[in-house]
Structure 1
Amino acid sequence: MAKPAKSDRQAKIDAIRKQQKGADKRRGYTIVAVSGVIAAALIAVPVYGIVSDRMATSKYSSLDLSEIGAAADVCGEITTEPAADSGNHVPQEQQVTYDTAPPAFGPHWNVAGVAPVSGAREFYTADDRPELEALVHNLEHGFTVLWYDETIAEDDDAVAELRGIAGKFSDDSNRRLAFIAAPWTSDDGEAFPEGQHVAMTHWSAGGAGETDTAKQVGAFQYCSEASGAALQDFMDQYPQQDSPEPNTLL
């Protein structure tokens, strides 16, 4: 028996279904293709960032610290304030409001923002910076912290200079090179003095080996931009051993 002819309506329905199946298949191919592009982009962005960071800072690898950034005269005079709270550890969940922007001393957590061990980093961004209370603990143990504000953070060339400076302190076998570059943001506290975008701080014991806590000071130096020469002078004047707890592990 011959197969009955399809009605016009059924033929139209079949045509629509066939068309829909084709569209679904094309849509599937598109989704797969777009997903692949997105996945590739997600992989490429961090890889590009790493490569571009290395390219931006590689030119500083052959330079001495004093040759990176601006001349030392972009920085003001070093100032000091009487320091307190050495050994004053507050609970890790407690946030501390510091009286200076940025801090050079004060209450802090009993954890280090950065430990002096192999693999430690010297440069941080706002996305991965340790908490202030942990960085102050580093200061207590002799680290110099170079803080940079959001003006610097938004300048790719300035950030490359800072990365180049931080790279000079990557020898973690020498604790005298205890150094961290970290951002200071509007969420952390007041802005730096007008026109100043970099600050260097150190918690001084009042001299290497000094045990009289009354002699402790916080040292501050503000700069309009990063200066490896000024940082070198600052750290020569305030070395790692000139700190409340220079020889204990963090």
Structure 2
Amino acid sequence: MAKPAKSDRQAKIDAIRKQQKGADKRRGYAIVAVCGVIAAAIIAVPLYGIISDEVESSQYSSLALDEIGASADVCGEITTEPAADSGTHVPQEQQVTYDTAPPAFGPHWNIAGVAPVSGAREFYTVEDRPELEALVHNLEHGFTVLWYDEDIDDEAMADLRGIADKFSDDSNRRNAFIAAPWTSEDGEAFPDDQDIALTHWSAGGAGESDTSLQVGVWQYCSEPSGAAVEAFMTEYPQQDSPEPNTAL
């Protein structure tokens, strides 16, 4: 017996169902495609950051420290003022208000922002910078801290990273260098048109034990300068500090 022909109504229903199935399938493909794009983006963003950091590092790896950034004449004269509070520790929960922007000496926590051991870092951002009171402890132990304005441009930031990389050999205690941001929450702004500040806590000479000779040292620069950093740290080495040899 021949199969009865579908009614017009049933045929229309079957056609609609077929269209819906096709639309559902296309929608499923679209969802999968969108998810794939999102997943690729999630993977690509950190991967891009890693690749760009590696590209930046490779740009500076062949350069000597004094070839990175601007020439030393973008920096002003080195200034000093009598320093105090060597060995003056305050509780870790206490914040210290420093009179200078940035500090080169003063009361501090009895912990270091960075210890000169394997895994130490030389470059910090606003998001991960140690507290001021910890960094001043590093100054007491001979570190040079390069402070940079939080609003510097990408080119200057790349130069700073290149400079910091030159001190990544933490087996040498004399490579005691930290680059860290100075923010509006930390205190007064740097002098006009100065985005960089180098600081050191000097004992008044390597091996000097007379605390009355201690000074804080500052040098402000309009741009990052590896040549200025090299000259500053040659004049004020890690051993010229109140506590150059004691453990952090």
Q: TM-score range by the shorter chain?
A: 0.7 to 0.9
Residue in structure 2 matched with residue 60 of structure 1 by the alignment: 60
Runs of 4+ in 1 over 6 A off after TM superposition: 11-25
Structure 1 residue identity aligned to 2:241: S
Separation of aligned partners in 2, 1:31 and 1:110: 55
Say if 2:160 and 2:179, in contact at 8 Å, map to a contact too.
yes
Separation of aligned partners in 2, 1:35 and 1:245: 56
CA-based RMSD of the aligned residues comes to 2.5
| Counterpart secondary structure, 2:100 | coil
Say if 2:122 and 2:167, in contact at 8 Å, map to a contact too.
yes
So what's the TM-score if we normalise by structure 1? Answer: 0.87
| C-alpha deviation, 1:43, in angstroms | 2.1
Separation of aligned partners in 2, 1:27 and 1:120: 51
| C-alpha deviation, 1:17, in angstroms | 9.1
Write the mapping of 1:6-85 to structure 2, written as runs, cut at 5 A. Answer: 30-85=30-85
Confirm or deny that 1:198 pairs with 2:196.
yes
| C-alpha deviation, 1:39, in angstroms | 2.9
Structure 2 residue identity aligned to 1:119: G
Moved more, 114-123 or 19-28: 19-28
Residue in structure 1 matching 2:207, options 206, 209, 222: 209
| Counterpart secondary structure, 2:216 | strand
Evaluate the alpha carbon distance shift between residue 30 and residue 219 of structure 1 in structure 2; reply closer, same or farther with a 3 A threshold.
same
| C-alpha deviation, 1:163, in angstroms | 1.1
Residue in structure 1 matched with residue 86 of structure 2 by the alignment: 86
Separation of aligned partners in 2, 1:14 and 1:110: 80
Separation of aligned partners in 2, 1:146 and 1:28: 54
Deviations 1:193-244 (A, max 9, x none): 0011100000111111112222111100000101111111110111001111
Evaluate the alpha carbon distance shift between residue 30 and residue 78 of structure 1 in structure 2; reply closer, same or farther with a 3 A threshold.
same
Residue in structure 1 matching 2:169, options 171, 176, 194: 171
Structure 2 residue identity aligned to 1:54: E
Structure 2 unmatched runs, 5+: 1-5
Deviations 1:84-123 (A, max 9, x none): 1212222222222211111111111111111111121111
| Counterpart secondary structure, 1:177 | coil
| C-alpha deviation, 1:36, in angstroms | 3.4
Write the mapping of 1:132-147 to structure 2, written as runs, cut at 5 A. Answer: 132-147=132-147
Evaluate the alpha carbon distance shift between residue 229 and residue 31 of structure 1 in structure 2; reply closer, same or farther with a 3 A threshold.
same
Separation of aligned partners in 2, 1:225 and 1:84: 30
Say if 2:126 and 2:150, in contact at 8 Å, map to a contact too.
no
Moved more, 27-36 or 128-137: 27-36
| C-alpha deviation, 1:15, in angstroms | 9.4
Separation of aligned partners in 1, 2:176 and 2:192: 28
| Counterpart secondary structure, 1:169 | coil
Residue in structure 2 matched with residue 113 of structure 1 by the alignment: 113
Deviations 1:56-77 (A, max 9, x none): 2312211111111111111111
How many equivalent residue pairs? Answer: 245
| C-alpha deviation, 1:31, in angstroms | 4.5
Separation of aligned partners in 2, 1:93 and 1:30: 53
